[in-house]
Amino acid sequence: MTLSSPKMITWVIALILGVVGILANLVALPIVSAGIGFWLLAIAFLLLLVASVVKGL
């Protein structure tokens, strides 16, 4: 299995999702609850994982 680095836009999207997920767990955000924050963090991690495996993502 050959891994590749994700594109910049994919990395930025995962970064934003991860930061919002962490903030939702630490601080009470009016838009995102703590339960959804966990899933945002999980999705960000899975996005980076898939982007590393799939070339061109």
pLDDT for the residue 55: 87
29 is written with which tokens? 């955000």
- Mean pLDDT by runs of 10 across the 57 residues of the chain is 90 94 86 85 95 88
pLDDT for the residue 13: 96
pLDDT for the residue 14: 95
Q: What is the rounded CA–CA span in Å between residue 48 and residue 57?
A: 9
pLDDT for the residue 42: 94
Helix (H, G, I), strand (E, B) or coil at 54: coil
pLDDT for the residue 17: 94
pLDDT for the residue 57: 77
